[in-house]
Amino acid sequence: MSDETTTLRVMVVDDHTLFRRGLVALLSADGRFAVVGEAADANEAQRVAAQCRPQVILLDNHLPGVCGVDALPALRAAAPQARVLMLTMSEDERDLAAAVRGGATGYLLKTADGEELGQAVERAARGEASFGAAMAAKLASAFAPLEPGEAVAAGPAPGPATAAPVAAPAVDDRLAALSPREREILELIARGDSNKEIARTLAIAETTVKIHVQHILRKLDLSSRVQAAVLVASRRRGAP
């Protein structure tokens, strides 16, 4: 039996029995994780999540009855302590946008290998965004800027609070308030780097990175790294 004091509690939600069992076996064989529950549809997922209290939920998008992205609010209400990582075959930008707005911490394709999946689960548990290279490149398109005068929003945070939409000029002012180092770290967050990876890239302490990230989110009036990544992608898309 896994030592739950040193392993991450993971739940798997997927209606394809063979894939779900294979994923459970893969995660169970990895000493970093303990699979504490599984489900084949959204309703079952809510019940199981409330009982087993996972730290990370791997959620497929194509579920019977209701799509995974549509089930996100109820699932997160049933297990507010859990981070949700979408694991799906859908590369649709609309699904990606809906997942982020619904509170998913990340969005990973089922084509990911075992190590990429493991790293994404660990990042999700820390509240760090994971999109995979293919989907990270689609963030800008998924959150293309609206017409002038309309709100530019990064979508709800993957936590209980939802940040209010901010107008484009206000976003520009807040970005201008960042220090050069904070802008540098924001770009790396948008790339999907973890605090450890950012620290290694910039040759600074990981604790220093954490402090910078807190300052960045506060200055930008955002609640999560996911929002920060989406905001950067949106601004790039709108740049001349």
pLDDT in tens, 193-234: 788 889 999 999 999 999 999 999 888 888 777 777 777 766
pLDDT in tens, 57-80: 999 999 998 889 999 999 999 999
Reading phi first (left if > 0) and then psi (alpha if -120 to 50, else beta), residue 108 is in: beta
C-beta contacts of 114-119 below 8 A and 24+ residues apart: 114/26, 114/30, 117/26, 117/87, 118/30, 118/32, 118/33
- Residue 51 maps to a domain: yes
Domain total for the chain? 2
In whole angstroms, what is the distance from residue 13 CA to residue 85 CA? Answer: 10
Residue 153 and residue 233 in one domain: yes
- Residue 141 maps to a domain: no
Task: State which residues form the domain around 199.
Answer: 146-238
Residue pair 57/84 in contact by the 8 Å Cβ criterion: yes
Residue 38's H or E segment, with its range, is strand 33-39
In whole angstroms, what is the distance from residue 99 CA to residue 42 CA? Answer: 15
- Residue 3 maps to a domain: no
